[in-house]
């Protein structure tokens, strides 16, 4: 980025923390703030993340509006997933807005590899997985292919490399969707905190 990118994002993030503290009485976790910023960013390239624009351009107004929306509907939450656990939430869509769910977590420290260019070693320690279901249909998160960075992100299977996962459903049919978060492998120290941000719904119901 440019010399102004970092202070712009940092200052905007601080204002979002202030807004959340004023409206909710506490400050967001780092993973929640990061997930919120990515969730509400304006897409600058193809749908989903890409190797040029990342998740897009920060939209501080959208992020602040999401914090305000959370006063009426639970669209921002901080959860702890335990070993072997499963988190579920029902989200209600009326079909008028695209449905979008983001999870983000601060992963446990991994084991660094020797200095090299684009190592193939998996770096994720706690592999959480997000998916959304409607009847027999399963919606998976975006993911990029390191071998073909010029291609658009796909969303046809689990993402096992990133600690930010976003499921995006364009023009959803009205109905009750089930959001599911679980994990592959074991969880270091038996528990992993994660944050969830939800958009395009009229109600949310934790199960």
Tokens 């997930």, residue located? 35
CB under 8 Å to 182, separation ≥6 — which residues? 81, 85, 86, 87, 128, 129
Runs of H (alpha helix) within the chain: 5-24, 30-39, 60-69
List the single range of 5-9, 138-142, 190-194 with lowest mean pLDDT: 5-9
- Condensed to tens digits (0 to 9), the pLDDT of residues 138-191 reads 999 999 988 888 889 999 999 999 999 999 999 999 999 999 999 999 999 999
Q: Do residues 108 and 126 touch, judged by C-beta distance below 8 A?
A: yes
**What is the per-residue pLDDT for 4?**
84
> Tens digit of pLDDT for each residue in 16-45?
999 999 999 999 999 999 999 999 999 987
Are 170 and 93 a contacting pair, CB within 8 Å? no
Query: Could you give the CA distance from residue 179 to residue 72 in angstroms, rounded to a whole number?
Result: 19
């Amino acid at each position: 980025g440019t010399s102004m990118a970092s202070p712009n994002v940092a200052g905007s993030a601080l204002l979002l923390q202030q807004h959340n503290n004023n409206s909710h009485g506490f400050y967001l976790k780092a993973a929640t703030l990061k997930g919120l910023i990515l969730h509400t960013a304006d897409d600058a390239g193809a749908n989903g993340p890409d190797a040029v624009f990342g998740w897009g351009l920060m939209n501080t107004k959208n992020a602040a509006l999401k914090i305000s929306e959370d006063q009426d509907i639970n669209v921002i939450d901080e959860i702890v997933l335990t070993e072997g656990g499963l988190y579920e939430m029902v989200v209600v869509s009326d079909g008028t807005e695209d449905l979008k769910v983001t999870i983000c977590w601060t992963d446990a420290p991994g084991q660094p590899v020797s200095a090299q260019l684009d190592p193939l070693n998996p770096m994720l320690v706690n592999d959480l997985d997000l998916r959304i279901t409607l009847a027999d249909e399963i919606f998976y998160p975006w993911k990029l292919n390191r071998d073909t960075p010029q291609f658009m992100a796909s969303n046809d299977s689990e993402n096992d490399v990133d600690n930010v996962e976003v499921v995006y459903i364009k023009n959803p049919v009205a109905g009750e969707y089930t959001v599911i978060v679980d994990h592959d492998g074991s969880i270091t120290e038996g528990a992993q905190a994660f944050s969830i941000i939800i958009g395009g719904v009229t109600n949310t119901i934790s199960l």
